Amino acid sequence: MISLRLVSKQWEEFEIRNVSLDIPDGEFFVILGPTGAGKTLLLEIVGGFHYPSSGNIIIKGKDVTNAPPQKRGAGFVYQDYCLFPHMDVFQNIAYGLKARKQGFSVIKDKVNTTAELIGLKELLHRDVETLSGGEKQRVAIARAIIIDPDILLFDEPLGALDARTRDTLLSEIKKLHNETKITTLYVTHNQTEAFMLADRIAVMQKGEIVQVGTPEEIFRNPKSEFVAKFVGVENLYHGVAKISGDICEIDVNGVNFYSSNKHEGNVSASIRPEDIIISPEKFKSSARNVLEGKIKEIRDQGTLIRVCVDCGINVVSYITRQSFMDMQLNIGAKVYLVIKAQNVNLF
């Protein structure tokens, strides 16, 4: 387990303030936030490259707050690989074992096993400068896990890669974690990476953790306007809520929504665009929210079409290209929006 207790640190333009987290053994935990949130500084505090000005860091039950990096049982993978250019792939992967004075036969066997696991078996004698970005990052991951670390730390490891290579490595990192069960702390600003990899996510803003939860909880039930905007909620409203029986009614500038969340008074409401059904005709539905409006804007976003509807307030829905073509939607057309009460999140 990794435990952080009220960890704080001021360093250059970055600041960490009273961060407390518990990451159980075997969990893949992602710290998600924008550039400048302090994510990398927090990761390097866990790794021992910076010491906190206050608070405690506990790894595997041992207080390592003031311990050097080599005493923390951590493997570290950086965005820019940090490989040794004068060593080949085999030597780079073997570096941690050599530093631990392992014999050559042990090193050879373990490098071969790790290389096969990571998909590097055919590249062991290659000069690292001749490798692609994806191959270099595989070498960096192999070098980190070959020492059998207690924890694995990733600092935006896919940030420098093209989209196709990034998608491939995402799947491989997830597969690797499923096989090794190494407790992993992974820093990124990329929501797709977080959603695909994480068991749980901590969203970070200006040096503080503002929400912790499963990917589903973070993306579907943000607890603040910052989190909602950061995870791509385009439909964000402010209104007044009142509870009526088993449902909550929210007045947003004269437009009423119903939510299964129960709040009263001034609230914010978030609705993910993909949770909104759009139809040119009114139809029977068990959903509590049915809004009528006119299409204000249509934007082609490749695989999805973004449709903005004026219902007294602007509401954005995403639909597939095929659905868009089947419905023959046009700007100015009257449509109906259907939203389940459980998909209207209040905070």
**What are the structural domains of the chain?**
2-225 (3.40.50.300), 233-346 (2.40.50.100)
pLDDT recorded at residue 79: 85
* 186 closest CA partner among 84, 264, 74, 92: 74
Instruction: Tell me the C-alpha to C-alpha distance, in Å, between residue 81 and each of 70, 121, 197.
Output: 19, 19, 20
pLDDT recorded at residue 28: 98
pLDDT digits 0-9 by tens, 226-260: 999 999 899 999 999 999 889 999 999 999 999 99
Number of CB atoms found within 10 A of residue 308's CB: 18
In angstroms and rounded to an integer, the radius of gyration of the C-alpha atoms of the chain is 24
* 276 closest CA partner among 220, 325, 319, 321: 319
pLDDT digits 0-9 by tens, 30-39: 999 999 999 9
Number of CB atoms found within 10 A of residue 141's CB: 25
pLDDT recorded at residue 13: 84
pLDDT recorded at residue 285: 87
Q: Which residues of the chain have pLDDT under 50?
A: none
pLDDT recorded at residue 160: 80
Instruction: Indicate if the alpha-carbon torsion angle 253, 254, 255, 258 is positive or negative.
Output: positive
Strands 289-300 and 334-339: antiparallel
Q: What is the model's pTM?
A: 0.90
**HSE, side-chain direction, 13 A CA sphere, residue 173:** 32
pLDDT recorded at residue 283: 86
- CA torsion angle 298 301 304 307 (round to 10): -20
